[in-house]
Chain A
Amino acid sequence: MVSIVHAAKQARDLLSARIYRPSHLRISLLDYLDLRTPPQRMYPNPTYIQAAMDWLCQAQDATDDGGVAARYRLDSGWMASYPETTGYIIPTFFNYAEFSHQSKYRARAIRMSDWLIEIQMESGAFPGHTLARKPIPRVFNTGQIILGLLRAYQETNKTAYLQASIRAGDWLVSVQEPDGSWLRYTFYNRTHVYHTCVAWPLILLSRITGNESYQLSAIANLDWALSCQTESGWFQLNGFRDDRLPFLHTIAYTITGLLESAYLLKPEMPQNSRYFEAAQKASEALLHRYEIRRYMAAQFDENWKSPASFSCLTGNCQMAYNWLRIYQCTRDARYLNGAVKLNEFVKSTQDLQSRNPGIRGGIKGSHPIWGSYIRYSYPNWAAKFFVDALMLEEKLVKDLYQRQKLHEYHRSR
């Protein structure tokens, strides 16, 4: 009986995802049979990066406000612009402009930044969700937008971006709880450990403005986050709703926040920071689980076990990036190795052939596409983290080959 209900639900989902459209049917069949690109038929990394950037440009052009459409949904196509992710997509576009030597990506990043300034709320906060809904101030989203605006300020010297960041930072400090966490204006009105990704932009803001109060606020949050780490390295209070089984996406956010804060607080020796140690402890556990299973599951319980039979591709890209950042300062090549494999997995799921511009070059929320993280959709943040992780992999593998005087191997790769 349970399986009949399950099958009926699946059939309903497939119909609502307009599975009868050739491009949707194609991707569903490929996922059902798990026909990913085999390693021997893979292209060099820049091909995948370019395809994902083209997809992100499509997502920006799908809306007329300068922001980036939240995702391409199989059921309803492109969504409205999403302020939070547009915020952290800005640094990706600036980085790619440098990587590809094409200034058009820089111009796009500036359009995104200008749109964000327009939608800033009276309080200094930025709204959650897309603007299709009633604007509600959100802590996490505001933090991510600060990252974009500060980068735009660093690139253009335009003070409007800095002023907007300062207003946003002041609002974040004003709504913080005494224990360092954020409870008000959060997703589902709950405290989340992944708010370490809010602490990180506050440290950056403190560095740029010289205002210590942002850093103090950030450190209070990071210390609170460490108090939520268990013996196994897992973090409590780290899910969107279900804290017992958080997605890799939020686990990776927490790790990113800790790592990047450590890089900012101790630029000479980030690995000596307790935030780095906490991030590495969780990362090591994930590396072990991934390598033993040869598959990165989408969710993890407190013993790093997972009942999930799908992969959260966004989380995979984020973790690959985190492992690369750990390798960057520890030179422990096991992390580089894991990141290259994980990136390769995501590359193998990227469809470069589809005739549908919402699918071609995009990264699915889940693999297979009906997995419960952002199902039947291509979120813009998956493509963003994918580009970030592949660009960093390109840099670090190239550095490794150059150190070993292996130019010929890099070319052949």
Chain B
Amino acid sequence: MNIIVLGKAWNSGKIIDIAQAFMDEGLPITGIVAMTRPKQRHRLKSVVQQLHFEGRQAILRKLPRPLAARRSSGAGKIASDTAAAKPALGPFCKQHGIRLELVPDLNGAQAESALKSMQPDLLVLGGTPIIRANILAIPEHGTINVHMGLLPKYRGRSVAEWAILEDAPVGLTVHLVDPGVDTGAILQQQTVDISDCATIAEMRQKLRYLQHRMMAASAREFLRGHLEPQPQRKEAGKQYYEMHPALKAVVEAKLARGYQPATTDAIPPQPVPTPC
């Protein structure tokens, strides 16, 4: 069984967490195709912009580790600590015998040819941009993704926050991927009780922990033929977008008060293994 994870190289922690969750379910990952950060066209302009928008810490973070660590200021120390904390994809792949391909674009010709040579049975998305049909056509059994919201109602971004703003239940959905945004057939979903999460950060941490394990378990059942994909009705939901801090303040306040959804869906809440 060839299972390949797609993701962003600069978000290696997420890719490694997904790979680990799959391996824990007895589904070995055979390859990782990761996208490298796009190169800046105007370097000087971008340095000036970063200094303006993010301050000098943004520049320090980009320095090589020894150089950043030599800085006597606190900012330099933070920069080097951040770099050290980032898990490295290369050593992880080497340790587990996983083939690693770094590509400039996950939808590009280089990614397509690398994936074709890997002959995947299943592709797993680990935080990618929209994947185009040419890539989705490659795997034998399809591509799966986990979404931090209950489909079909909440498609897109910041959906857990949007659900709270609209007094709806928060949950996770594992689905097959089609060329639309979160419109593929649903494999499994569950609501998550977040009444013990006092902030958005705590809620996201809880959902992040659960989602990769849920995706791995769903993938296993799907490959065994125990899960029947349920097509979505696109008109049953809306696409949501990144939430602005002005609205997030409302969500934070609701969480601080102990969030309980006003409406309930048909999906019963599942026991949650970890506390916030």
**Chain A residues close to B by CB (< 8 Å):** 33-35, 38-39, 287-288, 291, 294, 332-334, 336-338, 340-341, 344, 397, 400-401, 404, 406, 409, 412-413
Shortest Cβ distance from A348 into B: residue: B53
Nearest chain B CB to A401 CB, angstrom units: 7
Residue numbers in A under 8 Å from B243 (CB-CB): 337
Nearest chain A CB to B138 CB, angstrom units: 25
Shortest Cβ distance from B251 into A: residue: A404
B43 within 8 A of A: no
Contact B249 A337 (CB under 8 A): no
Complex Cα spacing A242 to B236, Å: 38
Shortest Cβ distance from B253 into A: residue: A406
Contact B52 A38 (CB under 8 A): yes
Residue numbers in A under 8 Å from B239 (CB-CB): 288
Residue numbers in A under 8 Å from B250 (CB-CB): 400-401, 404, 406, 409
Known: A35-B49, A397-B246. A409 touches B253 (CB 8 A): yes
Within 8 A of A (CB), among B222-276: 238-247, 249-250, 252-254
Residue numbers in B under 8 Å from A413 (CB-CB): 246, 249
Nearest chain B CB to A36 CB, angstrom units: 8
Pick 14 A–B contacts, CB within 8 A, sort by A: A33-B48, A33-B52, A35-B49, A38-B54, A39-B245, A288-B239, A337-B241, A340-B246, A340-B247, A341-B244, A406-B250, A409-B253, A413-B246, A413-B249
Complex Cα spacing A340 to B52, Å: 22
Residue numbers in A under 8 Å from B162 (CB-CB): 333-334
Complex Cα spacing A294 to B129, Å: 14
Known: A35-B52, A333-B166. A409 touches B249 (CB 8 A): yes
Nearest chain A CB to B183 CB, angstrom units: 14
Complex Cα spacing A291 to B48, Å: 25
Known: A404-B253, A404-B254, A406-B253. A38 touches B53 (CB 8 A): yes
Contact B247 A291 (CB under 8 A): no
Residue numbers in B under 8 Å from A344 (CB-CB): 244
Complex Cα spacing A334 to B240, Å: 7
Within 8 A of A (CB), among B131-188: 162, 165-166
Nearest chain B CB to A356 CB, angstrom units: 21
Complex Cα spacing A413 to B253, Å: 13
Residue numbers in B under 8 Å from A38 (CB-CB): 52-54
Complex Cα spacing A397 to B166, Å: 15
Complex Cα spacing A336 to B247, Å: 9
Residue numbers in A under 8 Å from B249 (CB-CB): 401, 406, 409, 412-413
Complex Cα spacing A39 to B248, Å: 15
B45 within 8 A of A: yes
Known: A35-B48, A334-B238, A404-B254. 9 other contacts (CB 8 A): A38-B54, A294-B242, A332-B238, A334-B240, A334-B241, A337-B244, A338-B241, A340-B244, A406-B253
Residue numbers in A under 8 Å from B165 (CB-CB): 333
Top 6 A-B pairs, shortest CB-CB distance? A291-B241, A409-B249, A38-B53, A340-B244, A35-B52, A406-B253
Nearest chain A CB to B86 CB, angstrom units: 24
Contact A333 B247 (CB under 8 A): yes
Shortest Cβ distance from A409 into B: residue: B249
Known: A333-B165, A334-B240, A337-B241. A33 touches B247 (CB 8 A): no
Residue numbers in B under 8 Å from A406 (CB-CB): 249-250, 253
Complex Cα spacing A86 to B210, Å: 58
Complex Cα spacing A33 to B48, Å: 8
Nearest chain B CB to A71 CB, angstrom units: 28
Residue numbers in B under 8 Å from A397 (CB-CB): 246
Residue numbers in B under 8 Å from A35 (CB-CB): 48-49, 52
Shortest Cβ distance from A294 into B: residue: B242
Shortest Cβ distance from A401 into B: residue: B250
Complex Cα spacing A334 to B158, Å: 11
Nearest chain A CB to B35 CB, angstrom units: 18
Contact A33 B241 (CB under 8 A): no
Contact A33 B45 (CB under 8 A): yes
Shortest Cβ distance from B44 into A: residue: A33
Shortest Cβ distance from A403 into B: residue: B250
Contact B49 A34 (CB under 8 A): yes
Nearest chain B CB to A21 CB, angstrom units: 22
Residue numbers in B under 8 Å from A39 (CB-CB): 245
| Residue with the greatest number of chain A CB neighbours at <10 A, chosen from B240, B241, B243, B254 | B241
Shortest Cβ distance from A291 into B: residue: B241
Complex Cα spacing A409 to B247, Å: 10
Within 8 A of A (CB), among B37-65: 45, 48-49, 52-54
Shortest Cβ distance from B48 into A: residue: A33
Nearest chain B CB to A193 CB, angstrom units: 27
Among the listed B45, B242, B245, which residue makes an inter-chain contact with A291, where contact means beta carbons less than 8 Å apart? B242
Complex Cα spacing A213 to B49, Å: 56
Complex Cα spacing A190 to B242, Å: 40
Nearest chain A CB to B131 CB, angstrom units: 15
Shortest Cβ distance from B54 into A: residue: A38
Within 8 A of A (CB), among B71-92: none
Nearest chain B CB to A335 CB, angstrom units: 11
Shortest Cβ distance from B245 into A: residue: A39
Contact A33 B49 (CB under 8 A): yes
Residue numbers in A under 8 Å from B54 (CB-CB): 38
Residue numbers in B under 8 Å from A409 (CB-CB): 249-250, 252-253
Shortest Cβ distance from A339 into B: residue: B244
Shortest Cβ distance from B158 into A: residue: A337
Shortest Cβ distance from A410 into B: residue: B249
Complex Cα spacing A291 to B253, Å: 25
Complex Cα spacing A397 to B242, Å: 17
Nearest chain B CB to A390 CB, angstrom units: 13
Residue numbers in A under 8 Å from B246 (CB-CB): 340, 397, 413
Shortest Cβ distance from A341 into B: residue: B244
Complex Cα spacing A35 to B46, Å: 10
Nearest chain A CB to B7 CB, angstrom units: 20
Complex Cα spacing A186 to B241, Å: 39
Complex Cα spacing A291 to B239, Å: 10
Residue numbers in B under 8 Å from A33 (CB-CB): 45, 48-49, 52
Complex Cα spacing A412 to B252, Å: 13
Residue numbers in A under 8 Å from B244 (CB-CB): 337, 340-341, 344
